[in-house]
Chain A
């Protein structure tokens, strides 16, 4: 699924291929796992009867029953704490945190408990939970519905951080996350729940229907954690991105006629360092793009890794394009968002000499 620089997918010959948006793909993954493994449990605010405020769990309670898929009190500390206990029992809970911005009340249970349970008990107990949460901006969510807190989790020993950018990946990665015996944070880029987003907020969003990566097989499949995806092949520079930014970067490169090797990291921990090294050693230039605030963001880690490991291959300094170090401002959302202008200028700078 590399090489294409167009957004349009070729029309499917058989017409039998199922095309899903990311919400449907996530729902499909959850349905698949609820069916395959009786120990999988889904819980969270509004996830039961209503099917979640983003509808990711729609229909699952009806299909799998109230003790497999249920609503919880508005208590993120409770949701995650309870999930740790369920994991210790032997279940595979998949708690949903309604917005990533609300994960903080449950942070201690994630950082001090879930992440370290295996270590502190010398593997007597594990916390195989997968915390799903929509994250990122671009939907006029203001400063409490737009944050990208992935760096906080990537910094914690014992947690895995996963971020899909397509419906196909969302299903395969979520299945792998649920089957993983370590606690996983699964951040869903809500800006691209319904369709890939090119960064031009004043243009209508293309629905996933037309995108090649919206073909989501009905059957079970998994995408291993720790393997990046090559979005486009190119020799001019390497771009490291994940989530919504993958699509924005792809569009910017297409418009500028830049042949970039775009890597969708998919998982920040574990990170596909091999893919990164191989690409940067070939292109000699590296741009890192994320939506989260800049200072001590995950881009800083990526930049350090690339500099440490590929320094003698670099033709230009590693560049970072990120959100600003302010909270996400509601009315000025599109001034905050790392869109085509910011990314385009960074590419120009990297390619300058």
Chain B
């Protein structure tokens, strides 16, 4: 029956399967990337028609030049105090990532995810938002929490799933939630937060509130239907929302080509929806701040939603469970042409005469010590698997507002088992 493909007298079709430019062992050459001149990109008015941002969707907005000084209309003109504050958050995020990564290796928790190299996309962005603007992050935005002053100990308690964890040990490490800090509970299912952010923003508009919403999604996850639903709803209802796409080039081992990056930019997704869009150097803290601020002002003025692609690079592994040397060239990180956001900000402050290497050293040391001391403090509440977790009975709480009969029965069963397994422990602890 099977005679091979139909239409064999016609040219054979062939399937294109994307392949990244470099694999392990390859020498890296990023010269194909068009790195723009800082300061050369136009800055349309925040209230402009979305069409006017079209050119920015294929461009790359940059502010900090090789001279470590800001250039052009996107210079947010931040005062040195704010710049130092930003650098402080950067340093703290980095020290935190370092320590938590080690904590995982030491068996204190099951899992951790670093954001090394991407700090600007969360810290600088968060600083451009109002502290009560609602954020719907993905899992690599620890910088938002740090910039909002969320207590480190709460983060560590969550990572250790210990008895201090206010999420009662139910979430994977790093899946934080803080209503007080207008930080939405993180989902393990990718991109689901994007329509939720739009819904929150729509609700805010329905109620005549003044708060806007922002969401972060990885470039790999933009392929999820949720993201496209989010774009449609955002544009249809002119929702006061910012859709941040963090293009860090890799989705675990799949390069950005598998989300469509070979044909167009992620920022250009905005065009088809009629959203304002822009592509931004995500390792340029000033450019990140300026564009996030632009989008926030636009949303706040009811002028519309914005989709921003932050072009950056995931310098470390995807998570503690990942070994990037298995799929990408080890030299990518050093060759990345947009540098490192922390270094760039540091050098900028030094160029301004507002910082120096000694102070940086001190800052790094202070951050390390702060994280270390807080970790010690958090460890008193327990580490994963060492029994000091939330009281046992909490397992059945919060499935529903009230405990229905079937869960009451199952809770009784679990308590009964508990008494058999640990006769020395009180049944509810």
Flag if A81 contacts B226 (CB, 8 Å): yes
Which of chain B's residues have a CB closer than 8 A to the CB of A291? none
Q: Which of A113-132 contact B (CB under 8 A)?
A: 113, 117-126
Task: Tell me how far the C-beta of B239 lies from the nearest C-beta in chain A, rounded to whole angstroms.
Answer: 9
Q: How many residues of A contact B (CB 8 A)?
A: 47
Contact present for B400 and A158 (CB under 8 Å)? yes
Inter-chain contact B229/A78, CB cutoff 8 Å: yes
Interface readout for B204-218 with A: 1 if CB under 8 Å, 0 if not? 111100000100000
Contacts of A160 in B (CB 8 A): 400
B225 engages A83 (CB within 8 Å): no
* CA A123 to CA B179, docked complex, whole Å: 10
Kindly identify, within residues 57 to 72 of chain A, every residue whose CB is under 8 Å from any CB belonging to chain B.
67-68, 72
- Contact, CB under 8 Å: A77 / B184: no
Decide: A122 near B406, CB < 8 A? Known: A67-B206, A77-B229, A81-B199.
no
Contact A82 B175 (CB under 8 A): no
The reply to whether B199 and A85 form a contact with Cβ atoms under 8 Å apart is yes
Please, what's the 1-or-0 string for A157-196, where 1 marks a CB less than 8 Å from any CB in chain B?
1101000000000000000000011100000000000000
CB-CB contacts of B231-255 with A at 8 A, as 1s and 0s? 0110010000000000000000000
A125 in contact with B184 (CB, 8 Å): yes
Closest to A81 in B: B195
| B177: chain A residues within 8 A (beta carbon) | 120-122, 124-125
CA distance A91 to B225 in the complex (A): 24
A113–B202 touching, CB < 8 Å: no
Determine the distance from Cα of A108 to Cα of B227 in the docked complex, in whole angstroms. Answer: 13
> Contact at A113–B401, with CB atoms within 8 Å?
no
For window 43-88 of B, CB contacts with A under 8 Å fall at none
Do B203 and A78 have beta carbons less than 8 Å apart?
Answer: no
Pick the interface stretch among B5-13, B34-42, B186-194. B186-194
Q: Judge whether A81 and B178 touch: CB under 8 Å.
A: no
Known: A113-B196, A124-B178, A158-B400. A77 touches B203 (CB 8 A): no
Which residue of A is nearest B180, CB measured?
A124
Interface status of B1 (Cβ within 8 A of chain A): no
Interface residues of A in 86-114 (CB under 8 A from B): 86-91, 93, 105, 108-109, 112-113
Q: B404 interface residue, CB < 8 Å from A?
A: yes
Tell me, yes or no, whether A283 is within 8 Å of chain B by CB.
no
Bound form: Cα–Cα A95–B397 in Å:
27
Measured CA separation A157–B207 after assembly (Å): 31
On whether A86 and B202 interact (CB within 8 A), knowing A120-B177, A125-B177, A157-B399, the answer reads: yes
B196 contacts A122, C-beta separation under 8 Å: no
Chain A binder among B116-124, B163-171, B351-359? B163-171
Given A78-B230, A119-B399, are A85 and B195 neighbors across the interface (CB < 8 Å)?
yes
Shortest Cβ distance from residue B276 to the other chain A in the assembled complex, whole angstroms:
19
User: Which chain B residues border A271 with CB–CB below 8 Å?
Assistant: 405-406
* A89-B192 in contact given A78-B229, A124-B178 (Cβ < 8 Å): no
A226 interfacial by beta-carbon distance below 8 Å: yes
- Let me know if B167 and A77 touch, CB within 8 A: no
A226 touches B199 (CB 8 A): no
Indicate which residue in A108, A113, A119 contacts B398 across the interface (CB closer than 8 Å): A119
Which of these, A73, A88, A105, A112, contacts B232 with CB under 8 Å?
A73
Q: In the complex, what distance in Å separates the CA atom of A108 from the CA atom of B226?
A: 9
Counting chain A CB atoms within 10 Å of each CB, the highest count among B178, B399, B406 belongs to B399
B104 to chain A, nearest CB (A): 21
CB B184 to nearest CB in A, in angstroms, measures 6
Cβ-defined contact, A113 with B189, below 8 A = yes
Contact (Cβ within 8 A) A81 B230: yes
Q: How far is the CA of A75 from the CA of B236 in the complex (A)?
A: 12
Considering only CB atoms, which chain A residue lies closest to B175 in the complex?
A120
Query: Given that A120-B171, A124-B185 are contacting pairs, would A88 and B178 also be in contact in the complex, using a CB cutoff of 8 Å?
Result: no
Out of A72, A105, A117, A180, name the residue touching B185 (CB < 8 Å): A117
Q: Complex: how many Å from CA A108 to CA B194?
A: 13
CB distance from B219 to the nearest CB of A (A): 19
CB distance from A284 to the nearest CB of B (A): 23
Interface check B90, CB cutoff 8 A: no
Partner among A68, A90, A124, A181 whose Cβ is within 8 Å of the Cβ of B401: A181
- The distance in angstroms between the C-alpha atoms of A125 and B197, with both chains bound, is 13
Q: Does B96 contact A (CB under 8 A)?
A: no
Q: State the Cβ distance, A28 to closest chain B Cβ, in Å.
A: 23
B343 to chain A minimum Cβ distance, whole angstroms, is 36
Is residue B198 contacting chain A, with contact meaning CB distance below 8 A?
yes
In the complex, the chain A residue whose C-beta lies closest to that of B185 is: A121
Q: Tell me how far the C-beta of B173 lies from the nearest C-beta in chain A, rounded to whole angstroms.
A: 13
A239 to B23, CA, bound (A): 65
With contact pairs A113-B192, A121-B167, A124-B179 given, residues A82 and B398 touching in the complex (Cβ less than 8 Å): no
Complex CA distance for A160 and B192, rounded to whole angstroms: 21
For A265, list chain B residues within 8 Å (CB).
Answer: none
A41 at the interface (CB under 8 A from B): yes
CB of B200 within 8 A of chain A?
yes
Contact, CB under 8 Å: B236 / A112:
no
Residues of B136-167 at the interface with A, using a CB-CB cut-off of 8 Å, are 136, 166-167
What residues of B have a CB within 8 angstroms of the CB of A87 in the complex?
199
Closest partner residue, chain A, to B169 (CB atom): A122
- B213 contacts across to A, CB distance below 8 A: 85
A75 touches B233 (CB 8 A): yes
Bound state CA distance, A120 and B404, in angstroms? 18
Q: Which residue of B lies closest to A74 (CB)?
A: B232
Whole-angstrom CA separation of A122 from B178 in the bound complex: 10
A86 to B199, CA, bound (A): 5
What separation, in Å, do the CA atoms of A77 and B398 have in the docked complex? Answer: 24
Please indicate the chain B residues that have their CB under 8 angstroms from the CB of A122 in the complex: 166-168, 170, 177, 397-398
In the bound complex, CA of A112 to CA of B401 (Å): 17
| Nearest A-chain residue to B172, judged by Cβ | A120
Residues of B within 8 A of A124 (CB): 166, 177-179, 185
Residue of A nearest to B229 (CB): A78
A182 with B195, Cβ < 8 A, contacts A89-B204, A120-B175, A122-B168 known: no
Q: Could you tell me the distance in whole angstroms from the C-beta of B424 to the nearest C-beta in chain A?
A: 28
State how many angstroms separate the Cβ of B167 from the closest Cβ of chain A: 5
Chain A residues with Cβ below 8 Å from B185 are: 117, 120-121, 124-125
Residues on A close to B: CB < 8 A? 41, 67-68, 72-73, 75, 77-78, 80-91, 93, 105, 108-109, 112-113, 117-126, 157-158, 160, 180-182, 226, 269-271, 273
User: Would you list 10 pairs from A and B whose C-beta atoms are within 8 A, ordered by A residue?
Assistant: A77-B225, A81-B195, A85-B203, A89-B204, A118-B399, A118-B400, A119-B170, A121-B185, A122-B166, A181-B401
> 20 more A-B contacts (CB under 8 A) besides A77-B229, A85-B195, A109-B226?
A67-B206, A78-B229, A78-B232, A85-B201, A86-B206, A89-B199, A90-B203, A109-B195, A113-B192, A118-B398, A120-B167, A120-B175, A120-B185, A121-B185, A124-B166, A124-B179, A125-B179, A226-B404, A270-B400, A273-B406
